[in-house]
Amino acid sequence: MEYQKLNEEILKNVGGVENITGLTHCITRLRFKLKDMSKAKTEVIQNLPGVVTVVQSGGQYQIVIGNHVPEVYKEFMVLSGLKNREGQEYSKEKPKGILNIFIDIVAGIFTPVINVLMAAGMIKGLLALLTAFNILDKESGTYLILNATGDGLFYFFPLFLGYTASTKFGGKPFIGMAIGAALVYPTISAAMNGEPIFHLFTGTMIESPIYVTFLGIPVILMSYTSSVIPIIAAAFLASRLEFFFSKVIPRAIRSFFVSFLTLIITVPIVFIIVGPITTWIGLLLGQVLSAANDFSPIIAGIIIGGFWQVFIMFGLHWGFVPIAMNNYATLGYDVVMMAGLATPLAMAGVTLAIFLKTKNRKLKEIAFPAFLSAFFGITEPALYGVTLARKKAFYTTSFAVAVAGAIMGIFKTRVYINGGTGIFALPRFINPEVGFDNSFIGFSIASGVAFLVGFLVTFLYAYDPKQDGVDDIKVEENADNKVDAPLNSDGGQMVIHEIKSPVVGNTISLNKIEDAAFSKELLGKGIAILPIEGKVYAPANGTVTALFPTNHAIGIQTVDGVEILIHVGMDTVNLQGKYFASKVKQGDTIVEGQLLIEFDLDALKSEKYTTVTPIVISNTKDYLDVIETNAEEVDKGNTILTIIA
């Protein structure tokens, strides 16, 4: 992890995970709620590389990181294990609506195993390559061990999902694992090899042989190896039973009997009712989607591919994961997530074009690593750092993936195993039975076309380097090898940009603000304004580079490359968006004077929040000076800051 060392030091010096009762983040800082503030070693934390300062305010222990705080926060949550701690909530926001709840559940179940899932899939893909080229014999001991390494997780997948699903539903994870183990127990699987006692539902599409009974009740045995839906449903049922028994059983015998009763009731119900029904539903869903793909694979490829990065942004791609996993288990292949696998390579082409074409040094520094990450399957740096803020580039990526989806539809491509993405996705399309077939050829051509279309359309049409400006002013050396800066008409240093006031009110020097992150200019030089109306306007032409979900702070990059942070009030993040309304969204192009945010000034005052609004230049270090206005009162459009280079 990029910020692992920093997060390890922060975790240690805030008093360890046991001292943390709450954690969130705003646009620049980690906001801890600590059991005991005195345990935090503030002086040590302030001196950590990557930490700007520490602020203790509003009952929170705030560690100011800067604009990359979301990445630090995410890695901290993983490192500390806070996501998996039972009984603790680290976000006040709960998913609303059936779709959002479903996506939240699926993401919570699959996220902990997604990396090892991809690793196991890559091993299976490597084996497919080695056997397709006759490098490795399927009868060899080497193949046997490597196949067990790659296939073991998929065979016993119900055990892994039993753990993660139980954790997500608030149950005991080892109960979930025990249920998963019962589903794939060898003796149960072997029972299906005998002669059936009789058949149920004879003459219907769900006609089922009966090999065993439970207390005289017929049991429809299914193959649950690699299955997804039955164990998730079982874990949910078990968690509800566990909660019930925990309430009604006396504390003295609870530790033993809760697990005993939960297992002895859940497992038979799963075998008799839950397993067959969920398996039939999953099989039907997979066949319906496959039939839709067979009806018009080209249209399906265009639609799924064209919208795939939108699915990723909203987390909707998680909804496809259990369907795809079920398809692998029941059909032996998947067509649902197939078109989306061209997205990383399309994004790599788009990002590479921007890297080669831009004149902005900072964007180049971001774009090239993002290109490499996308090429190897990690799209977030390219999506959120490069393409999303440049709409034409974003749309070009979708177009390129849609073209790739159409090509895969023409070849009737299928993906046979779960595994890597980007260039590492190629082995996933090797047919385990016949080797290289139309699926491999189709994806190879489609991914190559996605990369080329993304690159060429972006380079020739979709990206204008002027929108990001040039952040390096060229200077010439004189005969004495001294560097002379460009001069203006008065013989002084060139004025690069003038920043207009985004709010109407009275100016205040930053050093008079109580918040040390602003008063000590740790986030950049600038000025503060005490607003007299609840509106924030665009201080220059540019792009919205950051908009915090609570709408109390906004980051802007002007067309000249000046980075501006506008933060309405102090600690207003605690209001969770109450009294704030954004008129723009992240990635929007804005013009000077455009209304960006509205807020209820009187309500903030009545809630005892300080409304002083700092306006700082985040990339102050790139300039010789930032000069604030001498005016005591400013209106919208008045110059408040002058940037000198």
Query: Which positions are catalytic?
Result: 26, 567
Beta-bridge partner residues of 599? 580
C-alpha separations of 338 from 378, 438, 443, 533, 624 in Å: 16, 14, 9, 52, 51
Beta-bridge partner residues of 295? none
- Angle, helices 361-375/343-357, rounded to nearest 10 degrees: 160
C-alpha separations of 537 from 263, 547, 615, 642 in Å: 60, 14, 12, 18
In the sheet that holds 20-25, the strands lie side by side as 20-25, 29-34, 60-64, 53-57
The contacts of residue 39 (CB under 8 Å, 6+ apart) are 14, 15, 19
How many other CB atoms sit within 10 Å of the CB of residue 306?
A: 22
End-to-end CA distance of the chain: 36
Residue in the block written with tokens 């082995």:
427
Q: Sign of dihedral through CA atoms 205, 210, 211, 213? A: positive
Task: DSSP for 563-580, please give it.
Answer: EEEEE-SSSGGGGTTTTE
The contacts of residue 636 (CB under 8 Å, 6+ apart) are 500, 501, 502, 503, 504, 537, 593
483-484 and 495-500 beta bridge pairing: unpaired
C-alpha separations of 440 from 3, 109, 129, 216, 430 in Å: 38, 30, 11, 49, 6
- Report how far Cα 51 is from the mean position of its chain's Cα atoms: 24
Rounded distance between C-alpha atoms, residue 615 and residue 512, angstroms: 14
Q: Which one-letter DSSP state was computed for residue 520?
A: T
Rounded distance between C-alpha atoms, residue 530 and residue 518, angstroms: 14
Beta-bridge partner residues of 558? 542
Task: DSSP for 525-566, please give it.
Answer: SEEEEEESSSEEE-SSSEEEEEE-TTSSEEEEEETTS-EEEE
Cβ atoms of 237 and 266 within 8 Å: the answer is yes
Rounded distance between C-alpha atoms, residue 277 and residue 288, angstroms: 16
Cβ atoms of 442 and 411 within 8 Å: the answer is yes
- CA-nearest of 105, 118, 100, 93 to 316 is 100
